[in-house]
Amino acid sequence: MTFATKCLRDARVGLLFIALAGCVGSPVPQSGNANVDGGSSQDGGSLQDSATAIVAGNAHTCALVSGGVQCWGYNYSGQLGTNGRQNNSVPSGVIGLGPATGVTAIAAGAAHTCALVSGGVRCWGDNTEGQLGVNSLKSHVPVQVAGLGPSSEVAAIAAGGAHTCALQNGGVLCWGSNVWGELGNNSWANSRRPVPVTGLAPPNSVTAIAAGSDQTCAVANGRVLCWGWNQFGDLGNDSTVQSNTPVAVVGLGSASITGIAGGGGFTCAFGNGGVQCWGGEGGYGDLGNNSQGHSLVPVQVTGLGPTSRVSSMGLGWQHACAVNLGGVQCWGNNDTGQLGNNSTAISRMPVAVLGVPQSDATAVAAGLHHTCALVNNAVWCWGYNEFGQLGNNSTDASYLPVPVAAWSR
C-alpha cells in the first residue's frame, strides 16, 4: 500500500483516526478552551449530571448524561454538535439533544457522532462519505438519519471510520463509506441512506453490533459475523480477502459471546471465554497475547481468560482496554500514555490503569491515542490531548487518568 493510499484510509479510521500530519489535504486544527458560538450547556444537560455512557472518536469524546449528551475535543467537522467548529477542552452540550429527546445511546466515529433518541437516530459531524445518513456534506448539529425516525424501532447504534450502523428489529442497517465493503450489502458503493446488510436484514436475530475503522461485526445466533476490510485478518475468518457480505469468525469455540468491539484494523469479542481478538496491523501488541504480529483468527488475550468477567471494551487505533471486575486494563501502543500506567512503553499484555479505583469502573472507550473510563458515573481520561479530548480544560497529555472538568469536584 502506498503512503498516499494509507493516508486516505487512516483519515477515516473509526473510533480512532484523525488525518495524519503530512497527509495531503489534512485540515489545520483549531484550538481553544471556550464554548463555540451557538453552544449551550442546557442543550445537552447539566455539566454536573451523572454520566451513564461514554464514547470516543478520533480525537473527541462524548458522554451520555441524564440531561442529554456532552462532547469535548476536536471539532473541525462539527462532531461536538455545538453548531461551530472550535475545539473544546471542557464538555459542552450537544444542541437539540436535551432531556425531552430521550437519548438512550451514543456512538462516535472518526469525525462524526450519533445518538439514539426517542425520535430515531440522529447524527452530526463529517458526512463526506454519507455517514450521517443525509445528503449534506456535514452538519454541526444533529440531523435525522433518513428512514430512521420515531417508529423505526432501533435498539442500538455503532459508528466506524466513516460508516454507521443500526440494530433494528434484530437486523442490521448500515450507511456511509463502503470502499472496503463495510456496509455489508454485497456492494462497494457508498450509501447516504441506510441499507440492509446481506443476510442480516430486519427482522433477524442479531443481538449486538460493532464498527471498527473499516470493518463491521454482529453477534447473531451465538455466532460472530464480520464484513469489510480484511488485509490483516480483521474479519477473523482465516483469510485476508475483503468481504462485502458477512462472513463467520472462526475459532471462537463454544464461548458465549456477550459483546464485541471494533478498532483500527482489529476486532475483539468477550464473553464466558474471556477476551479474544483478531487482526492487528502494527507491531504494538494490540491483540494482547504477548505477540507483536497479527492473527487471521481469534487469539486469547493474556490474563483475560474464561475466569475473567469483562463487561466493557474500547478499541483504539493500536491499543485496547477492558473493564474486568470493575478494574480497567489496557494493552498495545502507549506512545502518548493511552494505557494509563504512567509510562510510554508498549505493553503486549494487559496492564492495570493507575489512579482510578480498580473496582468501580463500568465502561471504557478508546480513541486514536486517548482513553476514557466511566467510574462511579464520572468520566476520567488519559493519553493524547492536543485537541482537548481529555476534557480537563487543558491540552497537555497525561500518562495517568485525569477527571473530566464536569466531574472534577
More reliable by pLDDT, 180 or 30: 180
Q: DSSP states of 248-314 as a string?
A: EPP--TT--EEEEEE-SSEEEEEETTEEEEEE--SSS-TT-SS-SS-EEEEEEPTT-STT--EEEEE
pLDDT tens digits, one per residue of 328-351: 999 999 999 999 999 999 999 999
Confidence band of 6 (pLDDT split at 50, 70, 90): very low
Contact indicator for 10, 19 with CB cutoff of 8 Å? yes
Report the alpha-carbon distance of residue 389 to residue 378 in Å, rounded.
Answer: 15
pLDDT of residue 2: 28
Report the alpha-carbon distance of residue 362 to residue 48 in Å, rounded.
Answer: 18
In this predicted structure, the answer to whether residue 283 has a pLDDT above a threshold of 80 is yes
- H or E stretch including 228? strand 223-228
pLDDT of residue 226: 98
Contacts of 185 (CB under 8 A, 6+ apart): 174, 178, 191, 195, 196, 197, 198, 244, 245
Confidence band of 295 (pLDDT split at 50, 70, 90): very high
292-297 mean pLDDT: 93
pLDDT of residue 49: 66
Q: Would the CA dihedral through 322, 328, 332, 333 be positive or negative?
A: positive
Confidence band of 9 (pLDDT split at 50, 70, 90): very low
From residue 159, give the alpha-carbon distance in Å to each of 244, 251, 257, 349. 17, 26, 20, 27
Residue 55, phi-psi category: left (phi > 0), alpha (psi -120 to 50), beta (remainder) = beta
Report the alpha-carbon distance of residue 345 to residue 195 in Å, rounded.
Answer: 43
pLDDT of residue 48: 55
Cis bond upstream, residue 202 (ω within 30): no
Task: Please state the φ and ψ torsions of residue 100, each to the nearest 5 degrees.
Answer: -70, -20
Place of cell 463529517: 126
pLDDT of residue 292: 85
Burial of 253 (0-12, 13-18, 19+ CB in 10 A): exposed
Report the alpha-carbon distance of residue 358 to residue 26 in Å, rounded.
Answer: 39
**DSSP 3-state of 141:** strand
Measured in whole angstroms, the distance separating CA 166 from the mean position of its chain's CA atoms is 14
pLDDT tens digits, one per residue of 78-133: 999 999 999 999 999 999 998 888 999 999 999 999 999 998 999 999 999 999 99
